[in-house]
């Protein structure tokens, strides 16, 4: 069985025939190498047929979401010159006017297409695009990451070997189609003769548990936020849960330590196919260890200059090398990002260490880490979470780590630097809290903004603030202890469910500067300065 889905199953023979019929139809619409096809589906068997058909036609698919704003869709279509859009027929009214060829997919229509057993396209090469991943974003131009056949075939080969997968694999296709993990969930099982298990579109914890059981899935990828909500006893068919995208809490590690389900930590980014590191030997006290390289080498370099290779144990930027890297970005809208990410010139030390790889492609991740004596890598945090206060380095991730020891898994905290260096008030370290049990906590509002208040003036939050402050004081220098604690009614997240640090920073800065103005306008205002280290 190739596909086991809530809306129907397909054998490999059926998947081959249906995708071949659609692929020939797409070729007739002009799809071929370096041609981009938009795809918008809810979870279904037919979304898999559509994606596979685009690849067999020689094209590259771009998954979009039905809720994407029109200005975003117009930008994607203009930049990719996409002329074909495959979709559930339910979205016809929304999409059919956007492109020259709208193709509404139904099982009946697919089976009505003529049979042609000739290869739809025989001119695809490893360097051709297979998919484009757009980063989520509501403003500006999101970067379009172009993945090629070479990067995905290499990454799939290594992933199968690293995780230990075979034709008995039944992988849950849980992630939204617009996000990169969904490509792993589709391409890995179909490459090795396994089964792609498709759950219903509605995502709830109960539905997830039921889908795992009814589809007999034995491996899935989840964020820690989702994985920690599951009871290992209720998902006995799963022999492996891969997690990633968020810090790995000790509570999650302990939860699965005594179960038969194996927990694997994956680390990666959109510019890398599948993942760049994995840890299949997770220790409760080393949740930040991302393990070993998955497909290509990872180096630790000076975050200010990749020309300086750092020694064992030193904290620096992760630099990735290998064929699993994407083909860079789609167009010139990401030139500045490309300069900061993909290196235009191989560092001199690479030519000295490995002369044969002196022109190898490399990518600066913007992530900080260190290499351990056992060959594993620790993830320290993003470069932009290293705050500079009066010349001192404040690791926001480390402050958050200490604070989380006082919080429940459902609570959240983000540490940032608020204020402006303008000679009026010194910037201050702030901790922004979301407390799940607080009476003011709310469900996130679409296009809304959370309410921000002073946590130290809140009766329910004050005791928690005191506990957090004391815990940080016990573990970190005084200058790393937040001097401002703010309470948020909900924690903004990106479309991929990660904490939206940029939006949180913007909202917190807006609140902080308004409050600062009130303080400065007060006749009782007394200028204060930040505590400095001795």
Residues 264-277 pLDDT 10s: 999 998 899 999 99
pLDDT at 304: 87
Q: Are 200 and 177 in contact (CB under 8 A)?
A: no
Q: Are 484 and 425 in contact (CB under 8 A)?
A: no
Instruction: Give residues with Cβ within 8 angstroms of 338, minimum separation 6.
Output: 328, 329
Instruction: Give residues with Cβ within 8 angstroms of 230, minimum separation 6.
Output: 205, 208, 209, 222
Using alpha carbons, list the distances in angstroms from residue 421 to 325, 488, 515, 530: 39, 25, 16, 12
Q: Are 288 and 379 in contact (CB under 8 A)?
A: yes
pTM: 0.80
Please tell me the total number of residues recorded for the chain in this structure: 534
Percent of the chain topping pLDDT 90: 66
Whole-number average pLDDT of the chain: 89
DSSP 73-104: HHHHHHHHT--EEEEEGGGHHHHTTTSSEEEE
Helix (H) or strand (E) holding 407: none
| Residue intervals in the chain for CATH 3.30.300.30 | 386-521
Average pLDDT for residues 71-95, to the nearest whole number?
92
| Residue intervals in the chain for CATH 3.40.50.980 | 10-124
d(CA 442, CA 137): 23
Tokens at 221, concatenated: 């990828």
pLDDT at 172: 98
Using alpha carbons, list the distances in angstroms from residue 377 to 241, 310, 342, 399: 20, 13, 21, 20
d(CA 47, CA 32): 19
Using alpha carbons, list the distances in angstroms from residue 48 to 24, 43, 210, 215: 16, 9, 21, 16
Tokens at 475, concatenated: 């573990």
Query: For the ranges 188-197, 203-212, 331-340, which has the lowest average pLDDT?
Result: 331-340
pLDDT at 532: 30
Architecture in CATH of 386-521: 2-Layer Sandwich (3.30)
Instruction: Give residues with Cβ within 8 angstroms of 355, minimum separation 6.
Output: none
d(CA 478, CA 485): 15
Q: Are 530 and 390 in contact (CB under 8 A)?
A: yes
Fold for the domain defined by 10-124: Rossmann fold (3.40.50)
pLDDT tops 90 at residue 118: yes
pLDDT tops 70 at residue 333: no
d(CA 399, CA 355): 42
* Residues 503-531 pLDDT 10s: 999 999 999 888 877 776 666 655 443 33
């Amino acid at each position: 069985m190739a596909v086991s889905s809530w809306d129907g199953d397909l054998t490999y023979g059926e998947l081959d025939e249906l995708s071949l019929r659609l692929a020939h139809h797409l070729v007739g619409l002009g799809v071929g190498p370096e041609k981009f096809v938009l795809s918008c589906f809810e979870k279904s068997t037919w979304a898999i047929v559509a994606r596979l058909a685009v690849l067999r036609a020689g094209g590259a698919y771009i998954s979009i979401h039905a809720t994407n704003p029109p200005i975003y869709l117009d930008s994607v279509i203009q930049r990719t010159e996409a002329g074909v859009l495959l979709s559930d027929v339910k979205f016809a009214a929304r999409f059919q006017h956007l492109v020259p060829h709208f193709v509404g997919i139904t099982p009946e229509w697919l089976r009505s297409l003529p049979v042609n057993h000739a290869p739809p396209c025989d001119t695809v090469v490893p360097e051709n695009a297979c998919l484009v991943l757009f980063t989520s974003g509501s403003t500006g131009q999101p970067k379009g990451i172009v993945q090629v056949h070479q990067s995905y075939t290499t990454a799939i080969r290594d992933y199968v070997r690293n995780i230990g997968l075979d034709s008995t694999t039944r992988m849950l296709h849980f992630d939204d189609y617009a996000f990169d993990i969904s490509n792993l969930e589709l391409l890995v099982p179909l490459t090795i003769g396994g089964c792609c298990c498709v759950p219903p579109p509605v995502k709830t914890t109960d539905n997830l548990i039921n889908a795992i059981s009814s589809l007999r899935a034995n491996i899935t990828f989840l964020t820690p936020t989702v994985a920690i909500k599951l009871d290992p006893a209720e998902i006995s068919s799963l022999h492996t849960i891969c997690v990633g995208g968020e810090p790995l809490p000790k509570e999650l590690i302990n939860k699965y330590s005594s179960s038969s389900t194996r927990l694997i930590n994956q680390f990666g980014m959109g510019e890398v196919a599948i993942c760049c590191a994995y840890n299949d030997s997770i220790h409760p006290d080393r949740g930040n260890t991302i393990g070993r390289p998955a497909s290509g080498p990872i180096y630790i370099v000076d975050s200010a200059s990749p020309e300086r290779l750092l020694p064992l144990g030193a904290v620096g930027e992760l630099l990735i090398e290998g064929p699993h890297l994407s083909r860079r970005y789609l167009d010139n809208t990401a030139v500045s990002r490309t300069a900061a990410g993909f290196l235009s010139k191989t560092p001199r030390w690479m030519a000295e260490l490995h002369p044969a790889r002196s022109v190898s492609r490399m990518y600066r991740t913007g992530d900080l880490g260190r290499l351990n004596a056992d060959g594993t890598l620790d993830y320290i945090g993003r470069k932009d979470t290293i705050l500079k206060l009066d010349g001192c380095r404040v690791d926001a991730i480390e402050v958050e780590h200490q604070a989380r020891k006082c919080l429940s898994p459902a609570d959240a905290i983000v540490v940032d630097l608020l204020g402006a260096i303008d000679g009026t008030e010194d910037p201050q370290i702030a901790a922004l809290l979301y407390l799940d049990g607080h009476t003011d906590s709310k469900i996130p509002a679409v296009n809304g903004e959370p309410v921000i208040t002073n946590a130290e003036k809140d009766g329910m939050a004050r005791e928690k603030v005191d506990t957090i402050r004391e815990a940080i004081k016990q573990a970190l220098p005084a200058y790393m202890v937040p001097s401002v604690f703010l309470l948020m009614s909900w924690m903004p997240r990106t479309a991929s469910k990660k904490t939206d640090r940029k939006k949180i920073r913007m909202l917190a800065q807006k609140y902080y500067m308004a409050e600062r103005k009130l303080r400065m306008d007060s006749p009782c205002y007394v200028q204060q300065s930040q505590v400095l280290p001795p």
